[in-house]
Structure 1
Amino acid sequence: MSVRYDWYQSESKVVITVLLKNATEKNYAVKIESKKLHMTADGYELEIQLLHPVVVDRCSHKVYQSKVEITLAKETGVRWETLEEKAAPAAVALPKLHTKNWDQLVNEEEKKDEKEAKDEAALNNLFKRIYSTSSPEVQKAMNKSFSESGGTVLSTNWNEVGKDKVSVQPPKGTEFRQWEK
């Protein structure tokens, strides 16, 4: 059977992530040579002729529940355009090589984080404005509903929240847990 994998690189190393369900339970073996990587795991096989040589004694591999991560130490700091020297022979069924632009992915994630931070700040400002311009009765309702519900409810209606204790209402698909003391 073929194995799905992906790879990325830094100036000094190439990291190959081999996706393998229940990897810790599989009988896996990794053999690293100067320009060749060979991995087997209970019926799975991956063989790659590397584009550039690696320093074998500085290479390593680690198994996780769903993957095996192989770290190859580059012999030189040259950027690899591809992982493989040439296409694999037809007899060995290997997956298609997919490279990712990690810098672009990082930039996209940073932009998402910035947008989320702006959205959160705008929402906090809205709640502050509502609270600061509200009557004491509305402020009391907001404080009571927020504190009694563990931060899951925010009401401005004192007639509703003043009657009884406000129950916890976690977002759909989540559950509320008390902190252990």
Structure 2
Amino acid sequence: MSAESLIAEANALFVEEEYQSAMAKFNQAIELDDKNSSYFTHRSFCHYKLENYTAAMADAKKAVELDPKNAKAFLRKGMAAFSLEEYESAKEAFEKSQELAPAAATKTWIRKCEAELETEKDDDESSEDIAPKKAQAAPKAMEEDGPPPLEPDTKLPPKAQTPAPSPSPSPQPAPVPAAQPAPQPAKPDSKPAPKSAVRYEWYQTETHVTVTIYLKNVKKEDASVQFQDQHLDVAIQNVPVTNEYRLNVELSDKIITGECVYTVLGTKIEIKLKKSKPAKWPALENTGTQVRSWDVVADQKTHKGLAYPSSSKHGAKDWDALGREQPEEKLEGDAALNKVFADIYKGASDEQRKAMLKSFQESGGTVLSTNWDEVGKGEVKGQPPKGMEMHNWKEIHE
């Protein structure tokens, strides 16, 4: 089977979200032809869907190396870098993609990078504000306590002669003790307790809830995440200022604990909770409000994008709002053809899919049929567009 045929099969499997099977086909195609930039671009996106972000980055870089004008390869490189939290690199890649092939979707990615970089900048400034205050605490305490008392003189005076008895003084009236001021109540400490710079965000899909805690340089051994039927308990040790961060909440609905996972990354901890049923949670923490069926929410006429509640001082991020009014990207050439093929393939039966693959491959991409009764009878002849001739590639090279 040719590399092109394998890529066509891989793309069809990709549309069906069968990413592992698609990956196997992409690997076979690249073994046959490792000089095609678009093949590495396709496989990079498959790695991205499988959350193999490092591999996705490697394939995107290879695609760019093979074709420095491959805008899609720069787009995939940016997406991989964004997932690896390399926001500067991601922004550069998206800007290059936008320069080669302007697209609304790429603009949205650039704005996402700018938002993340701005958040990182604000977090760094918050950390710098906290450090000087802590350093000033010791000298201030010294001033309040006053200087240390002087050491008493331990030397004995020289032996003196016995003095002559002096005349008894006339009796003096006993002094009246001065009135002591009433004790003042202790003033409460007006300084607020130091606040933690840690913040978190959460969002949900039909099947999962994702909680992201933004905290840099956390060691895996310092993070403890416990899942219970309707409870999430997060404890992180060695946190700046407060020493420990705790997120302990009763969740809005039950979760499947065996399918919940968490990942400790360089700048955050990402927790993925598996919902026990498709439902729209009104909040992360249980407020007594009943959860609604996801189907009911999806069927409502007024549809809103995914909400991203946040404890950030900047408020929640709504990524959908960044591109809500952007027009859909218009596909051209091979990309448009692949989309047509994929759309038809997605809704076809097994027999129709078999007919599509056979007709498309045997005709050199000039015939696409879903009629297996007709296609299965024999080889499908190519039908070139009007005014063009059909040539077999073997004939050309003989």
Q: TM-score, normalised by structure 1?
A: 0.50
Structure 2 distance, partners of 1:6, 1:48, is 14
- Which position in structure 1 is the counterpart of 2:273? 72
The one-letter code sitting in structure 2 at the alignment partner of 1:13 is H
How far apart are 1:24 and its partner, in Å? 3.1
How far apart are 1:104 and its partner, in Å? 2.2
* CA spacing shift, 1:44–1:14, aligned 2, 3 Å: same
Structure 1 distance, partners of 2:316, 2:255, is 19
The one-letter code sitting in structure 2 at the alignment partner of 1:49 is E
- Which position in structure 2 is the counterpart of 1:147? none
Structure having the higher helix fraction is 2
Number of aligned residues: 105
Structure 2 distance, partners of 1:107, 1:17, is 24
The one-letter code sitting in structure 2 at the alignment partner of 1:17 is T
1:57 paired to 2:274:
no
Structure having the higher strand fraction is 1
- Which position in structure 2 is the counterpart of 1:32? 227
How far apart are 1:99 and its partner, in Å? 4.6
How far apart are 1:82 and its partner, in Å? 0.9
Is contact 2:209-2:272 (8 Å) kept?
Answer: yes
Write the mapping of 1:149-164 to structure 2, written as runs, cut at 5 A.
none
Is contact 1:12-1:73 (8 Å) kept?
Answer: yes
* CA spacing shift, 1:106–1:70, aligned 2, 3 Å: farther
1:18 aligned residue (208, 213, 218) = 213
Cα displacement string for residues 124-159 of structure 1 (whole angstroms, at most 9, x for unaligned residues): xxxxxxxxxxxxxxxxxxxxxxxxxxxxxxxxxxxx
* CA spacing shift, 1:104–1:6, aligned 2, 3 Å: same
* CA spacing shift, 1:100–1:75, aligned 2, 3 Å: farther
Structure 2 distance, partners of 1:44, 1:20, is 10
- Which position in structure 2 is the counterpart of 1:82? 283
Write the mapping of 1:26-175 to structure 2, written as runs, cut at 5 A.
27-42=222-237, 43-86=244-287, 96=311, 99-107=316-324, 110=326
Provide the aligned C-alpha RMSD in A: 2.8
The one-letter code sitting in structure 1 at the alignment partner of 2:320 is D
1:4 paired to 2:4:
no
Aligned-partner SS, 2:280: coil
| Farther off after superposition, 24-33 or 8-17 | 24-33
Structure 1 moving runs of 4+ over 2 Å = 95-108
Is contact 2:230-2:252 (8 Å) kept?
Answer: yes
The one-letter code sitting in structure 2 at the alignment partner of 1:103 is D
- Which position in structure 2 is the counterpart of 1:173? none
Structure 1 distance, partners of 2:258, 2:230, is 13
* CA spacing shift, 1:46–1:24, aligned 2, 3 Å: same
Is contact 1:6-1:17 (8 Å) kept?
Answer: yes
How far apart are 1:84 and its partner, in Å? 0.8
Structure 2 distance, partners of 1:105, 1:16, is 21
The one-letter code sitting in structure 2 at the alignment partner of 1:36 is H
Is contact 1:8-1:100 (8 Å) kept?
Answer: no
What percentage of aligned pairs have identical amino acids? 32
Unpaired runs of 5+ residues, structure 2, are 1-194, 238-243, 289-309, 330-398
Aligned-partner SS, 1:8: strand
Structure 1 distance, partners of 2:252, 2:269, is 21
Is contact 2:227-2:233 (8 Å) kept?
Answer: yes
* CA spacing shift, 1:19–1:36, aligned 2, 3 Å: same
Is contact 1:49-1:86 (8 Å) kept?
Answer: no
How far apart are 1:39 and its partner, in Å? 0.6
Structure 1 distance, partners of 2:267, 2:278, is 30
How far apart are 1:4 and its partner, in Å? 1.1
* CA spacing shift, 1:74–1:20, aligned 2, 3 Å: same
Is contact 2:220-2:264 (8 Å) kept?
Answer: no
